């Protein structure tokens, strides 16, 4: 499993990191403790005391600092040791690794690689609960599967026709047509019309619409998707071109999703979804979250089963199809960025 370390990884929902409650998370095999001070500042350190490797996530917040609750070593926010009980001398270099961390768009983002390159401008433009334009719900689930299989899933929506006919009401057109795929600096963009798709709005699910399916999938595994649907026939009228921004829509939603590699074989999946405030309300948001829970459970069953097959088939190769263009491009992007890190 290749991990892009020079990237912002989602460690948690912002609201799940409460003040003075150290939170353990493993990202790409790095054990990390995250905590928030009384004043709201967030810190991320290696979750491993420099003394005898006890986890700092079992520690106690003391003002700006975190105390290991095995033998009492006290750590500053930069990872340096502030105090060793009963010992005056703090050895030179006594410190644990500190990770760049940013609290933005309702997610805690951690930079695993070279701190000198940790530019917050590289954080993808997810939509958080602080954005008043959207009425969002959220969820998460853990996978017994490597993150790459979830990336593959999210970079090839042809699976909607087979995995999600019940939940998303997806028809065959997701599998029969192909999106336009564009490779960006740190993301892959997907865009296409999917016609005659059943709608999402409560009792109208039998009413077919044309969906302008547009999304970007950013390194290390962040999906940003502003979905819009239009009256059936719109795609044909536009001759397959992208809809102009001011065109009347039958629905507008936004979903932000983050796939975080915990270890080489386990992952955590964070997602929010909901309508634009001009196109829905809390009731629609709740309906969408019900659909999301069902759909992402369908993915989990398939992907964890796929992982088990892969684990028992070390020498078997895959056979890409024409639906895999985006998957291949994203994997190449990951490989290229990862290779650059080790130069």
Element spanning 173, H or E: helix 173-176
Q: Which stretch binds a second copy (CB under 8 A): 8-16, 44-52, 184-192, 276-284?
A: 44-52
Residue 24 backbone phi and psi in degrees, to 5: -90, 140
Q: Which is nearer to a second copy, 68 or 135 (CB)?
A: 68
Helices 147-154 and 282-311, axial angle in degrees (round to 10): 120
Strands (E), 60-136: 60-62, 65-67, 74-75, 81-83, 98-99, 101-104, 107-111
What distance in Å separates the CA atoms of residue 195 and residue 313, rounded to the nearest whole number?
38
Residues 302-341 that bind a second copy (CB under 8 A): 302, 305-306, 308-310, 312-313, 316, 318-323
CB of 333 to a second copy, least distance (A): 19
Binding-site size for a second copy (CB under 8 A) equals: 53
Q: Which is nearer to a second copy, 31 or 276 (CB)?
A: 31
CB of 168 to a second copy, least distance (A): 14
Q: Is 170 in the site for a second copy (CB under 8 A)?
A: no
CB 270 within 8 A of CB 138: yes
Site string for a second copy, 77-96 (x = CB under 8 A): -------xxxx---x--x--
- Which residue carries 């080790």 as its tokens? 342
CB of 89 to a second copy, least distance (A): 8
Q: Which is nearer to a second copy, 179 or 280 (CB)?
A: 179
CB 260 within 8 A of CB 268: yes
Closest-CA residue to 304 (of 280, 273, 335, 269):
269
Q: Write out the two tokens for 288.
A: 């969408």
CB 336 within 8 A of CB 4: no
- Residue 42 CA, chain-centre distance (Å), reads 19
Q: Which is nearer to a second copy, 51 or 276 (CB)?
A: 51
- Which residue carries 């290229």 as its tokens? 336
Residues 108-167 that bind a second copy (CB under 8 A): 152, 156, 158-159, 161-163
Residues 20-39 that bind a second copy (CB under 8 A): 26, 29, 31
CB of 84 to a second copy, least distance (A): 5
Q: Which is nearer to a second copy, 152 or 199 (CB)?
A: 152
Q: Which is nearer to a second copy, 140 or 161 (CB)?
A: 161
CB of 28 to a second copy, least distance (A): 12
CB of 307 to a second copy, least distance (A): 9
Return the CA Rg of the chain. Answer: 22
Following CA atoms 307, 47, 138, 147 in sequence, which dihedral angle do they give, to the nearest 10 degrees?
Answer: -20
What distance in Å separates the CA atoms of residue 39 and residue 294, rounded to the nearest whole number?
38
Q: Which is nearer to a second copy, 213 or 250 (CB)?
A: 213
CB of 231 to a second copy, least distance (A): 25
Cis ω before 8 (30° cut-off from 0): no
Q: Determine which residue in the list 21, 53, 242, 283 makes contact with a second copy, applying CB under 8 A.
A: 53
- Report the interface residues with a second copy, using CB under 8 A: 26, 29, 31, 47-48, 50-55, 58, 67-73, 84-87, 91, 94, 152, 156, 158-159, 161-163, 172, 175-178, 301-302, 305-306, 308-310, 312-313, 316, 318-323
């Amino acid at each position: 499993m290749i991990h892009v370390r020079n990237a912002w990884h989602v460690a948690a929902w912002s609201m799940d990191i409460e003040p003075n409650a150290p939170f353990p998370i493993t990202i790409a095999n790095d054990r990390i403790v995250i905590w928030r001070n009384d004043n709201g500042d967030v810190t991320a350190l290696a979750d491993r005391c420099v003394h005898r490797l006890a986890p700092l996530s079992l520690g106690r917040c003391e003002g700006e600092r975190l105390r290991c609750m095995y033998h009492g070593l006290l750590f500053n926010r930069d990872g340096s040791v502030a105090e060793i009980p009963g010992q005056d001398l703090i050895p030179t270099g006594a410190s644990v690794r500190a990770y760049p961390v940013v609290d933005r768009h309702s997610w805690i983002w951690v930079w695993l690689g070279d701190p000198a390159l940790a530019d917050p401008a590289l954080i993808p433009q997810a939509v958080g609960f602080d954005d008043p334009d959207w009425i969002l719900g959220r969820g998460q689930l853990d996978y017994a599967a490597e993150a790459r299989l979830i990336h593959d899933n999210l970079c090839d929506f042809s699976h909607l026709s087979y995995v999600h006919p019940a939940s998303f009401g997806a028809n065959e057109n997701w599998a029969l047509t192909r999106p336009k795929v564009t490779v960006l600096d740190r993301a892959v963009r997907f865009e296409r019309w999917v016609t005659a798709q059943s709608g999402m709005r409560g009792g109208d699910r039998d009413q077919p619409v044309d969906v302008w399916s547009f999304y970007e999938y950013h390194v290390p595994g962040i999906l940003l998707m502003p979905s819009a649907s239009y009256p059936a026939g719109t795609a044909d009228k536009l001759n397959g071109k992208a809809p102009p921004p001011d065109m009347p829509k039958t629905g507008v939603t936004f979903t932000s999703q983050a796939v975080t590699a915990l270890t080489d074989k386990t992952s955590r999946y964070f997602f929010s979804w909901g309508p634009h405030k001009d196109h829905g309300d809390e009731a629609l948001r709740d309906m969408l979250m019900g659909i999301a829970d069902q759909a992402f459970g369908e993915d989990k069953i398939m992907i964890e089963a796929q992982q088990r097959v892969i684990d028992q088939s070390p020498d078997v190769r895959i056979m890409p199809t024409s639906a895999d263009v985006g998957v291949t491009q994203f994997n190449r992007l990951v490989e290229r960025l990862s290779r650059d890190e080790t130069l």
